[in-house]
Structures are given as structure tokens and as C-alpha cells.
Amino acid sequence: MATTPKLRKAPDHLSPEARKLFTSILKRYELEDEEVATLVLALEAFDHAATARRRLKRDGQIIDGPGGRPMAHPSVTIHRDCLTTWSRLMGQLGLPVEEVVDARNSRGHYAGKRVKRG
């Protein structure tokens, strides 16, 4: 007799959007405990990318550096690295990133939703 797997609760430290993704993914996929831990790490990266994106929207990509010289805002790197981490971890889990999150470019601008066909 098959049993219904227990749906895990999303960690409280994740944003509401990340918690919604957590629940949605676990409803559609059966993940082992270590895979759930990887999913949480991916969603933390997702949240950090969103925080960096909000900071860039507020401050802009270019800021005054030492001596008043223009330089890239540190959140540019944070955003890029977090999106890379998100994508890599979701790929490790075999989850289709393009169906889970809207594609946004490095400045956080909407670049269209990638839908996996086929």
C-alpha cells in the first residue's frame, strides 16, 4: 500500500515568495532529505538575489568609489553570484529553473518568461 509522503514545512527564514516556491516544488516532486536541504540553500540564494536586486533598484548599478571614481555597486556581484548559485543548485536537483522563476537580467529587469517546451 502506497503512503502519501509528508509535506515538509518551508523554513521560516525564507521570504514569502521563496516559501511559496518551496511548497510548490515539494507538491510536484518527491525529494529526499538531503535534496530538501539543497533546495533550501537554492531558495536562500534566490532570496539574496532578490535583496541585491532591490538594493540595485534603489542605489543604481554605478556608485561613487574611493576618490569619487565610479565603480560597480557591490550588489551587482552579489546578484550575479546568487543567481548562479540558484541555477546550479536547482540543476543539481534536476528541477527546471525556467519554469520556476521569471528570467531577469543582471539589472533585475524582466527579460521574459522562459517556458520549457516539449
Percent of the chain at pLDDT exceeding 90? 72
Query: For 71-105, what is each residue's pLDDT tens digit?
Result: 999 999 999 999 999 999 999 999 887 644 444 45
Residue-wise pLDDT for 39-56, tens only, equals: 999 999 999 999 999 999
pTM confidence score = 0.75
Cα 99 to Cα 114: distance, rounded to the nearest angstrom:
7
Calpha distance 5→46 (Å, rounded): 26
The number of angstroms, rounded, from the C-alpha of 52 to the middle of its chain's C-alpha atoms is 11
